[in-house]
Structure 1
Amino acid sequence: MVQGQPIIDVTLDGIETRKNTRFQDKQLGALKLPVYSGDDDISGVIEVRMNKQKKIEHLGIRVELIGRIEILNDQKQSSDFMSMSRELEPQGFLFEDKTYKFQFQKFEKQYESYYGNTVRLRYYLKVYMVRSYGKVQKEVDFAVLIPQPELEEQPQTSLKLEVGIEECLHIDFEYFKSRYHLRDVVTGKVNFYLVKIKIKYMELAVIRKEQYGQGPQQQTDNETLVKYELMDGCPQKGEVIPIRLYLSGVDVTPSVKNVSGKFSVKYILNLILVDEDDRRYFKQQEITIYRKK
């Protein structure tokens, strides 16, 4: 009878009382991960079970804490931005199930976890036993969230833009803020000064733009997260249409720029006018989204 491989289990300390967060990953589906931030340590217990074997020869057992950026459709561009390692057992033999305690104190939390369409920034523990013919390993993911109180404290500026088609259309619109927290409300107004085309409706969309790669190899993935109708029917000259869009129901994350030289995540407000001939007129404006303390 062929014996099975040893089994590795990892139990994190304090997991019952630790806050969780959810991510929707394109490949892995819905994820619910424990959250670490600030000066949090990560610690726990690792159990290596013999799985009906009497003796296991190995070349060492280790635990690693890894921060990794994965470019999902080009693994050559993926890389670790952080790695810490602890030896649990030097080369030798196991004759019975063993448990090991581990701790990584106040590990560096440089970037926030991110699970996108083309990019994944993940933190995970990897426990592995090296054997002469390969590895037995177990990975456990967790999340790092980073509040940005400095963005909350800075004074806000409004964003004003104009859309014009000579002698046919002249509007301007204003968003009252340029920075929004994850559960904020986008507010503003649209002023119609000249309307000589028959507008069918107007809508506001939130677009997430993932950019990865460098220089000529840079690629962009655009995803429309939500579309919200601001107006149905043709406006009159002088009409003012209010803008109010709640971000709490939209799958937004903090904006990030050039993370470890690998990727950026931007958010765009796209104001769209559609006329009776289904021609579309639009104006895009980047906004900053941040995590409140």
Structure 2
Amino acid sequence: MKNLFSFGTPAELAINFTGEDSRRKEGDLLIYAPTDDISGTLRLTAKKLDHGGIKVELIGVIQTTVDKSSQFEFTASVRALLQSDTLDGTEVHPAFVRRVVLTVVQELPFAFVNVDKPHESYYGKTVKLRYFVRATVLRSYAPNLTKEQDFLVHSPEVAPELNSTIKMEVGIEDCLHIEFEYNKSKYARCSHVCPYTWKSSSVRRYHLDDVVVGKVYFLLVRIKIKHMELAIVRREASGSGLDKLTDTETVTKFEIMDGAPVKGESIPVRLFLGGVGLTPTFKNVNNKFSVKYFLNLVLVDEEDRRYFKQQEITLWRKQV
């Protein structure tokens, strides 16, 4: 009776990509360029398996972490590996004239050539942009067997044209005036805002292994400053309307001045971006999400009042 209703022992599936040992990784995931082909083998291990066919798919999706069932599929490609068949390791042992069930291992090669991979991978707090290969063993009278293996797509960009270093003066009228000097500026405008927040519409571009170099020059100091710190802030936004999610995270920060500055003092700034865990800036990807980065300069006075200067920066990937 047991054999009559048996559908075979479920198989073990393993997806292996070509050149795993030589390809660069980020964490446990292999890194590919948008133009790279994706190839490998599906390893199927079972003692007995009746199936209606085996296929592999390359899929790119955008998922929100709040509702994983809600996802947008922006690329997909399918390859059929096997038609319906029975994988059976049963054989009769000649010495004992009895049936012996052996484990059968079958390796099925696959390749995805010239499949569109238009966006860079992103794993954030509210949204994920994933690429993965999914293997499916189709079964008529039992749930399908599936296995997914993620991989990363990194998209290098061409270096942008840069203007010369630009100076920008901001401050609190008759209390504090500071001049910021940044390298790799795209453009800059100045504004004076009172009392506690400075704003500017400047945008600067840095690649992910770049160095932010500049200085903070104190033109007027009539308040007692305790210390000054510089932080990189990531702002992630996904969804729209009532379903819009926003997450703001301080990626890293460090103190660049301790103690009260005096008029005429210059504080150097040198911030290495490599190894911080940054991603490129994402601008409204498929109308689903955006990721922005900011340099946040904070001064704290003796009464613990905080003076902010937030500067948006655009990050881009130089190479894979």
TM-score (norm 2): 0.81
Indicate the residue corresponding to 1:271 in structure 2: 297
Aligned to 2:172: 165
Matched, 1:117 2:125: yes
Which residue does 1:85 correspond to in 2? 78
In the alignment, residue 7 of structure 1 is paired with which amino acid? E
Preserved contact between residue 205 and residue 226 of structure 1 (Cα < 8 Å): yes
Match of residue 183 from structure 1: 209
Distance 1:169 1:216, change over 3 A: farther
Task: Show the counterpart of 2:40.
Answer: 44
CA shift at 1:40, angstroms? 1.6
Deviation at 1:72, TM superposition (A): 0.7
Pick aligned residue for 2:21 from 16, 25, 29: 16
Would you say the 8 A contact 1:189–1:240 is kept in 2? yes
Deviation at 1:95, TM superposition (A): 3.0
2:145 corresponds to which residue? Answer: 136
1: CA distance between counterparts of 2:181 and 2:244?
A: 31
Shift of 1:252: 0.9
Q: Alpha-carbon deviation of 1:104?
A: 0.4
Shift of residue 172, structure 1, vs aligned partner = 2.6
> CA deviation digits over 1:74-101, x for unaligned, max 9?
3354221111111122344333543321
Structure 1 residues not aligned, in runs of 5+:
23-30
Contact 1:230 1:241 in 2 (8 A): yes
Percent pairwise identity: 48
CA contact (8 A) 2:29 2:151 kept: yes
Offset, 1:255:
0.9
Distance of 2:214 and 2:110 partners within structure 1? 51
Partner of 2:65 in structure 1? 72
Residue 255 of structure 2 aligns with which residue? 229
Question: In the aligned structure 2, how far is the partner of 1:281 from the partner of 1:80?
Answer: 44
After TM superposition, give the deviation of residue 142 of structure 1 in Å: 1.1
Letter matched to residue 211 of structure 1: A
Deviation at 1:110, TM superposition (A): 0.7
Output one character per residue of 1:102-135: Cα deviation in whole Å (capped at 9) or x when no partner. Answer: 1100221211111222222111100011223312
Q: Partners in 2 of 1:159 and 1:110 — Cα distance?
A: 34
**Hey, what does 1:26 align to over in structure 2?**
none
Q: Which secondary structure state, in structure 2, belongs to the residue aligned with residue 236 of structure 1?
A: coil
Determine which structure has more spread, i.e. the larger CA radius of gyration: 2
Does the Cα contact within 8 Å between 2:54 and 2:135 map onto a contact in 1?
yes
Structure 1 residue 155 and structure 2 residue 162: aligned?
A: yes
1:6 and 1:113, CA in 2 relative to 1: closer, same or farther beyond 3 A? same
Is the 8 Å Cα contact of residues 126 and 245 (structure 2) preserved in structure 1? no
Offset of residue 248 of structure 1: 1.4
Q: CA deviation at 1:216?
A: 4.9
How far apart in 1 are the matches of 2:174 and 2:221? 9
Find the aligned partners of 2:163 and 2:31 in 1 and give their Cα distance. 29
TM-score, structure 1 normalization: 0.88
TM superposition shift of 1:249 = 3.2
One-letter code aligned to 1:140: Q
Cα distance in structure 2, aligned partners of 1:249 and 1:89: 44
**Structure 2 Cα separation of the partners of residues 4 and 102 of structure 1:** 24
Structure 2 partner of 1:103: 111
Tell me the distance in 2 between the aligned counterparts of 1:157 and 1:210: 30
SS of 1:39's equivalent in the other structure is coil
Q: Is the 8 A contact 1:156 1:179 kept in 2?
A: no
State the Cα deviation string for residues 142-196 of structure 1 (Å, max 9, x = none).
11111101xx142246565444223221223132221111111101121212211
The number of aligned residues is 279
Give secondary structure in 2 for the equivalent of 1:194.
Answer: strand
DSSP-derived class of the 2:274 partner = helix
